[in-house]
Amino acid sequence: MIPAAFEYAHASSVDEASKLLSKFGEDAKVLAGGHSLIPLMRLRLAQPAALVDINGIKELDNISERGGKLHIGALTRHVTIQNSSVVKDKLPLLAEIAGEVGDNQVRNMGTMGGVIAHADAAGDYPTLALMLDADVVTNQRTIHARDFFKDLFTTSLGPDEIVTEVVFPVANGPHKYIKFRRRLFDWAIVGVAAQKMNGDWRIGLTNVGPTPVRATAVEEALHKGAKPEEAALHASDGLDPSGDLRASPEYKKHLARVLTKRAIQQAQQ
Amino acid sequence: MAVTQLVGAKVHRREDPRLITGHGHFIDDFTRTGAAYATFVRSPLAHARIKSIDVTDAAKAPGVVGVYTARDFKGQLAGTHPAAPAFVAEKKYVPERFPIAEKEVTYQGEIVAVVLAESRGQAADAANLIQVEYDELPAVMDVEKAMQSGSPKAHEGAADNICWDLTYTGPEVSDAAFKEADVVVKERILQNRVAPVPMEPRGVLAEYEGFDKKLTIWMSSQNPHFIRLFVSGSMGLKESQVRVISPDVGGGFGSKISPYPEDYLVPALSRIAERPVKWIETRTESIQNATHGRGQYYDVEVAAKKDGTLLGMRMTQFLDVGAYVGTFSAFQACACLMAGGAYKWKGISARTVGVLTNRVPTDPYRGAGRPEATHLVERMVDLVALELKMDPVEIRRKNFIQPQEFPFTQNFGLVVDSGDYDKALDRALELVGYEELRKKQAELRKQGRYLGIGISTWIELCGFGPSAATAPATGGIALVESAQVRVTPTGAVLVYTGTHSHGQGHETTFPQIVADQLGVPYDSIELRHGDTAEGTSFGYGTYGSRSLAVGGVAISRATGKVIDKGKKLAAHMLEAAEEDIVFEHGSFHVKGSPDKAKAFGEVAFASYGMNLPQGMEQGLEAVAYFDPPNLVWPFGTHIAVVEIDAETGHAQLQKYVAVDDCGNIINPMIVDGQIHGGAVQGIAQALYEEVVYDEETGQLKTGTMIDYMLPSIGEIPPLILDHTVTPSPTNELGVKGIGEAGTIAASAAVINAICDALSPLGIKHVDMPASPDKLWHMMKEAGK
């Protein structure tokens, strides 16, 4: 389909992008990889008045480890994260997750910042960011992941605020991401991430609510010495997922429990 | 046929370099100078009265050429959208259809207005400005409820929603069989509605030249001659005033056989607006409006003896016709005639009921009736086997029509031409490692794992078809096939066929046949199709696995006529008697004197010269029509191996074996390709695909590729393919069709495997699509 007409502006720096966003006002959108935004525009579900293209801001496309933290620039493509030796060394779970995003076309274009700012409930990085207490850095401030994801497609970003990087802790112990889906390129019906860090487990759930979920009840049970299969029973505590064509709420809760058990078990293997 | 070099060889598809490198010509690659673009405004509601349409804002929008509603087409298009009688002659109620709704809309997506603009974007923008006021009416969505007397009607003012109710054979036909029975098994079997989703959606470009009164239509169609017939009729033009060109077609799966509203409206708009008009369907429009497939359920009973002998079947097909009767919709009732499958029965009672709903119409979709029949009979045979604790292989073998029994007249009087069902089954069992798998299954069951093996010993009828069978079904036009072979003075061979490839590789297969027959280089032969201004006066299109078995034979016969004329001329040139001329390896020679010879090219050149036998006209070309004496009956065995995750209900297809028999094979690579695509389509119906509408509001919920679950290569294991060869006695090439075979076979194999896997839980039947959520719920219920 043909999107509605819109203004287009290309930014060469974060500063310029921010100014352009201010200029166009609330109806402006940042264009990074475009793999979520453009389909929405083609269906006319999104009709932004303007797109600010940040693909030319090269400094946002980088990966580094500094002071025990892993910094992923907002414009870093999934394929770069997936193949990065730094990521594989410092936070291999992130590389694993990046390799599970979409298909080759999506991974070649889609970006870390785009996924975080889009805040789709089925996005994979937000789960990891939340469970590892990552920081979302913008051109204005640093936001803790737990304060960032507000609701479905809703974040605490201001209108002229741009995500510049996401800062994860280093964690290279046992880990696993299980993305349950029907087709290779699909979003998760339910996803579960498990990461052992500083002797304790961090467990995150994808697509079981409007925002990512940290399964603290599972983490606590494991901390107290529960076996994975026992602890995993708590994965659905407090969940109230919505149903869709792929899965009923009941099934999603069941999957949260089963996949949590499997993620922990497989991480330990 | 003479010694062959190309028939049977894996010749690479001639089409592929063009298509793979982006040099194909699909409908959106065409335009005309001065073309305006059309965007259709469609009903967002499943059922409503149109109160008013306000086009004021849209008409003033930038670039708009015009905005049109039903009344603008009143003088332009006559009659209703055709619904051919096809197979069910006695229709009770067929709603009238005008290509654009005036007072009532009856499915989400029905056209209510159209905008023409200078660009596609402007047309799309303006379409959003049209204000349509509706009075919503209750939507009829459930077929069973739609048949009840108090049901709302899919069309206001209709007496009921029953489109047809035809009993082919009454209960008395199977009474004796059921009296004799030791066991009777019953089941209701659903056929999920699926969308065809061709890679290339539809599109129409039309140019009406007012001075000459000539209309040219470029469109993505499987069936250009029929489109010319229908559209010329509706527009009040002679067929000779209309030319339909269907260029490269990116898939159809049956959805590009019948004419659509846009196929009438775009040419009419060109006549009204006096400029070329182009429309390209969007993906959502395609899922919403291209005719859907399947959408049926069956109530079935089977009677059998305790030794596994099948006795009788009683079945009723309930078919969701949708809001209008698709042109070839009733063809899907052939599921009744094919319900017996590969087996012998004492009696089959069959009835079909077509029911109107407020959904987009259903029409033939790859296999059309035959996948449904296979699914039904293969499921029921497994249910009998389960009841009798027999191996599904043994019950099949026990009831197969035997090789020496062909030609075999089945329960509905159709004559199955040839077959050797055990042979294909044996090979498939060997390839899949059946005995080992059964042992492995027993082991895994002890560990609480669910492995299943599903068998589908499918047969079909295709190659439509004999004039006696098809002319009454289409309203008079027999589905025979035409061909023309023209040889130019320098020996280039042009072959015209009335079939039209939408991915089948005709440009390769047909020249293979001609090259062998004429003994000339393959590269000197070119196949042309898809343009009603070329070749014979009528062509019948591509569907129902008919192109080779009917069109290929017509080509072979036209080629034979060319050779016959060549022999006469060669005899004259060689000063020999015609009956002494032998034609082989591309050369005419005198019997016993191979040195006294004229090459085919020399004879072709001479045919345009002055030294011809008395009474012979110049030129070397011939036309042939082939009216097959029977349909052809391919068969085979597909076996699926599935493991169901005990915790998640996810059905993992682990192995898939297909052994198919389509008689003699012209190009094994193309046959394998057809099986690949077809089987994946059947697997997809079994596990993934379903068009879902809201049962209350009639809103389509699967309007994008995100929600419509078309699987990808990632979900399908490598298919293990082989063939047996049982030539057809129906035509001299010994060929049968293969385009639909994979789809016909596959869904039954997959669902039988799932049911086999879950049988320890007491689960006997699973409907499609077998999603993990559905299987998990069933397993949980069964475990209680």
Q: Are residues A250 and A193 in the same domain?
A: yes
Q: Do B648 and A180 touch (CB under 8 A)?
A: yes
Query: Which tokens hold the place of A69?
Result: 């933290």
Predicted confidence (pLDDT) at residue B389 exceeds the cutoff of 90: yes
State the pairing for strand pair A175-180/A135-138: unpaired
Domain limits for position A84: 58-169
Q: Are residues A149 and A215 in the same domain?
A: no
Nearest CA in chain A to B702: A245
Which of A101, A135, A169 marks a domain boundary? Answer: A169
Residue A1 lies in a domain: no
What's the pLDDT score for residue B314? 98
Residue A32 lies in a domain: yes
List the one residue out of B222, B217, B215, B224 whose CA is nearest residue B200: B222
Predicted confidence (pLDDT) at residue B2 exceeds the cutoff of 50: no
Interface confidence, given as ipTM, is 0.96
Restricting to A residues 168-187, those with a Cβ less than 8 Å away from any Cβ of B are: 180, 182-185
Q: Is B391 exposed, middle or buried (0-12, 13-18, 19+ CB in 10 A)?
A: middle
Q: Where on the phi/psi map is residue A29: left (φ > 0), alpha (ψ -120 to 50), or beta?
A: beta
Q: Would you place residue B587 in the very low, low, confident or very high pLDDT band (cuts 50, 70, 90)? A: very high
The domain segmentation of chain B, as residue ranges, is: 16-21+481-626, 31-137+199-251+256-289, 370-464+630-783
Mean pLDDT of B546-567: 98
Instruction: Kindly state the percentage of chain B with pLDDT values over 90.
Output: 94
Q: Do A248 and B773 touch (CB under 8 A)?
A: yes
Q: Would you place residue B1 in the very low, low, confident or very high pLDDT band (cuts 50, 70, 90)? A: very low
Evaluate the omega torsion of the peptide bond into residue B769 and state whether it is cis, within 30 degrees of 0. yes
Report the alpha-carbon distance of residue B263 to residue B265 in Å, rounded.
6
Residue A68 lies in a domain: yes
List the one residue out of A176, A152, A62, A65 whose CA is nearest residue A113: A62
Q: Residue B617 contacts by C-beta under 8 Å, 6 or more apart in sequence?
A: none
pLDDT, tens only, A28-53? 999 999 999 999 999 999 999 999 99
Report the alpha-carbon distance of residue B29 to residue B416 in Å, rounded.
44
Q: Are residues A115 and A209 in the same domain?
A: no
Q: Is B184 exposed, middle or buried (0-12, 13-18, 19+ CB in 10 A)?
A: middle
pLDDT, tens only, B607-639? 999 999 999 999 999 999 999 999 999 999 999
Could you tell me the fold of the domain covering B370-464+630-783? Aldehyde Oxidoreductase; domain 4 (3.30.365)
Could you tell me the fold of the domain covering B31-137+199-251+256-289? Aldehyde Oxidoreductase; domain 3 (3.90.1170)
For residue B368, report the phi and psi dihedrals to the nearest 5 degrees. 35, 80
B285, B648, B693, B774: best to mutate for the A interface, most A CBs within 10 A? B648
CA distance to partner chain B, nearest, from residue A58 (Å):
32
Is the fold of B16-21+481-626 the same as that of B370-464+630-783? yes
What's the pLDDT score for residue B88? 62
> Tokens 């007409």 — which residue?
A5
The list of chain A residues with pLDDT below 70 reads none
What mean pLDDT is reported for chain B?
A: 96
pLDDT, tens only, B223-244? 999 999 999 999 999 999 999 9
Q: For residue A179, give the CATH number of its domain.
A: 3.30.390.50
Which of A113, A144, A169 marks a domain boundary? Answer: A169
Which contacts qualify for B606-612: CB closer than 8 Å, 24 or more apart? B606/B569, B606/B573, B607/B487, B607/B489, B607/B565, B607/B566, B607/B569, B608/B489, B611/B572, B611/B573, B612/B569, B612/B572
Q: Are residues A32 and A70 in the same domain?
A: no
pLDDT, tens only, B537-549? 999 999 999 999 9
Residue A2 lies in a domain: no
Q: Are residues A209 and A248 in the same domain?
A: yes
What total of structural domains would you count in chain A?
3
Q: Are residues A62 and A163 in the same domain?
A: yes
Q: Would you place residue B187 in the very low, low, confident or very high pLDDT band (cuts 50, 70, 90)? A: very high
Predicted confidence (pLDDT) at residue B84 exceeds the cutoff of 60: no
Q: Are residues A151 and A196 in the same domain?
A: no
Instruction: Name the class of domain B16-21+481-626.
Output: alpha beta
CB A198 within 8 A of CB A215: no
List the one residue out of B745, B627, B734, B605 whose CA is nearest residue B683: B745
List the one residue out of B111, B103, B114 whose CA is nearest residue B137: B103
Amino acid in the structure at residue A37: L
pLDDT, tens only, B450-487? 999 999 999 999 999 899 988 887 778 899 999 999 99
What's the pLDDT score for residue B92? 83
Q: For residue A76, give the CATH number of its domain.
A: 3.30.465.10
Q: For residue A36, give the CATH number of its domain.
A: 3.30.43.10
Residue A87 lies in a domain: yes
Nearest CA in chain A to B704: A43
Nearest CA in chain A to B693: A245
Q: Do B712 and A184 touch (CB under 8 A)?
A: yes
Cα→Cα distances A158→A140, A155, B646, Å: 9, 9, 46
Q: Are residues A88 and A122 in the same domain?
A: yes
CA B767 distance to own-chain centroid: 23
Q: Do B648 and A183 touch (CB under 8 A)?
A: no
